[in-house]
Structure formats: structure tokens, C-alpha cells
Amino acid sequence: MADIIIVGAGPAGLSAAIYARRANMDTVVYEGESYGGQIINTPEIENYPAIAKISGFEWATNLYNHATGLGAKVEFDRVTAIEGSAEELFTVKLESGMEDTAKAVILAVGASNRHLGIDREEELTGKGISYCATCDGAFYKGKTVAVSGGGNTAVEDAIYLAGLADKVYLIHRRNEFRAEETLVKAAREMPNIEFVTPYVVTELKGEPKLASVILTNREDGSTKELEISGLFVAIGQEPKTADFKDLVALSGGYIEAGEDCRTNVKGIFAAGDGRTKKVRQLTTACSDGAVAALAAIDFIKLG
């Protein structure tokens, strides 16, 4: 039996483990894939306070070693279900067939970016393809980039990148945007943003880095090539919450939890990109982990 079980060994989950262990809580982290979450594949991090530059792998490894060094147990086994209540113990069921119990649970399940689903996308990720403009935009100062997407995030990314890059193409498969009209209007008024509709990215070119993209017109099938240094994919995220849809309240697939990280179920907390929030960054994931852990500690001690 653990005091706190944390589901997910990404930035939020491992940060929560650090705070839980510092409070001398018996802490177990369950992870179905690898530690570090999405950040482990990021070639360079330059927006984490007090660390000017570090690779995602090194940063995630340092975080993992910090948590385990304090005594947190990290088990690589996927959580498939959680049962029980705050009045009793929570039972955590694992893919291996094993079970564990805890007084409190922190869901730090994260979210994954939707991909374009075209050839070489994985190969060129970190080599011209990014899923986070605020994370990687600074690498493209004075260059030509493109954003693929039509929602608020895509248009916001284009506006953000327009302050860094010389030229920004905003590629969307429809002529109309799902983004708020005020955002679309602001983007249209920026001289270095060019709208490219109704097109989709169908081919990636360049070796060893992205050099251009082939676009296909969805109305007439015609194609054209854009020479760019970076492509920012902003077509949404998929929170990894499917296993918990009957456990806690969800909104748009994300776990409903405010800045206090408390869900609608007493004793269960949510942290990181899998919870309802506006900003999903490395720093906010870590801060969520701290908040969720402290809330879980208070729950165990005070009820």
C-alpha cells in the first residue's frame, strides 16, 4: 500500500513525486511507456527558468533521478482502472494483472499532440517539425515557417511566430477557420502572415532537416511547394484519459480540475497536460505536480 499513487512519469508526475517524497509520503509512480513524457524527445529546451539550454532527454533524466533519489518508486506498468473511494483505499489495477492501493491518487496522464500522419513526420520532428510554437519558436528567428491548423491554437501560434520569423504561412484545410474571428482578423492584419487555404500538407522534403513542404488543394487536387525552415503542427491534442472517463469528470476529454488540481472525486487529483487548463508548458506541468502533491498530502493528513 502506498500513501500516494501517481499515474504518469512525465514532468507533472515526477514533480509530484518529488514533493510527495519530501513530505515523507510512500510514493509510487506508474508509467505505461517511458519516463519524461513528450519532453524527452525535444532536442533543446531553452524556456525552463534557470536552465539556459538543455536537451529534453537530459532534463527528463535529471527529473527522474531526482524523484527516485528521494525514494519515489517508479514502476513501468500501465494503469487500466482505478476503483474505491476516499472513505476506503483506492485500488489501482495494472495491465500486468497486478493491483496496488493508495490513500490518494494523482492523475498526471498527459496528452499527446495530434500528428499529420504523413511520411517522415516522426523522422523530422525536432529537425524542422514542432508541435509547440512557444517552446521552439525562438529557434526560427528571421526564418520562414508555416503553421498547420485552423483553431485558436494555430492562429495564436502564427501570431506569436510572426514576431520572430520573417514569414509565416498559415495552412488550413478549409477556407473558414474554427478560431475566434478576432484572432483571425488580427492574423490577417499582420503583414508577414500569409493564409494558405484550402490546403493540407501531404509531403515533407529535406535532408537531414526540413526544407520544404508539398501542399495539396482540397478542392481541385492541385499541389504547390513552400520552402520553409520550420513547420508547426497545431491540429489539437489527445489527452490520455480514456481509461478514466468513468472515474472523474471530463471536459472535451480533459480531466476537470482547476488550479488547485482537485477533481470532482475526493482524494483524486489531476496535474499536467491532461487536465483542463489554457497553458500547457513544461513549467506549468511541473507547477501542477507540486500543487497536486501538496493537495494530496493535505488530504491524507487532514481529510
Domains delineated in the chain: 2-112+237-302 (3.50.50.60), 115-233 (3.50.50.60)
Instruction: Evaluate if residue 221 carries a pLDDT over 80.
Output: yes
d(CA 81, CA 58) in angstroms, rounded, equals 31
How many CB atoms lie under 10 A from the CB of residue 298?
A: 12
Model confidence, pTM: 0.77
Asked whether 138 and 163 are in contact (CB, 8 A), the reply is: no
d(CA 5, CA 123): 35
- Residue 62: count of CB within 10 angstroms of its CB: 14
Residue type, 100: D
Return d(Cα 19, Cα 99) in angstroms, integer: 24
Instruction: Give the confidence band of 24 by pLDDT, cuts at 50, 70, 90.
Output: very high
User: Does residue 303 have a pLDDT over 90?
Assistant: no
Residue 270 confidence (pLDDT) above 80? yes
Average pLDDT over residues 222-248: 96
pLDDT-derived band at 110, boundaries 50, 70, 90:
very high
Which residue carries 501531404 as its cell?
Answer: 202
Higher pLDDT, 43 or 73: 73
Tens digits of residue pLDDT in 48-80 = 999 999 999 999 999 999 999 999 999 999 999
SS3 call for 60: helix
Three-state secondary-structure class, residue 7: strand
- Pick the more confident residue, 46 or 71: 71
What is the rounded average pLDDT of the residues 171-193?
97
- The percent helix, strand, coil of the chain (3-state, each to 5) is 30, 30, 40
In angstroms, the CA 264 to CA 246 distance is 12
Tell me the three cell numbers of residue 220.
481541385
DSSP state of 275: B
The residues pairing with 168 across neighbouring beta strands, listed in sequence order, are 145, 193
β-strand partners of 199? 217
Distance CA 54, CA 125 (A): 17
Q: Is the pLDDT at 40 greater than 90, yes or no? A: no
Q: Reduce the DSSP state of residue 264 to 3 states and report it.
A: coil
- Above 90 in pLDDT, residue 114? yes
Task: Please give the Cα distance from 19 to 303 (Å, whole number).
Answer: 18
Q: Are 79 and 94 in contact, with CB atoms under 8 Å apart? A: yes
Query: What is the band of 167 on the pLDDT scale with cuts at 50, 70, 90?
Result: very high
Average pLDDT across the chain, whole number = 96
Q: Report the C-alpha gap between 143 and 37 in whole angstroms.
A: 29
- Cα 249 from Cα 264, distance rounded (Å): 6
User: With bands split at pLDDT 50, 70 and 90, how would you rate the model's confidence at 39?
Assistant: confident
DSSP annotation of 204 reads: E
> What pLDDT is attached to residue 86?
83
Examine residue 11 and say whether the peptide bond preceding it is cis (omega within 30 degrees of 0).
no
Length of the chain equals: 303
pLDDT at 170 over 90: yes
Residue 38 CA to residue 131 CA, distance in Å, equals 10
Span 164-189, average pLDDT: 97
User: Distance between CA 236 and CA 152 in Å, rounded?
Assistant: 10
Structure confidence at residue 225 (pLDDT): 98
Active site members:
132, 135-136
Share of the chain above pLDDT 90, in %: 90
Amino acid in position 70: L
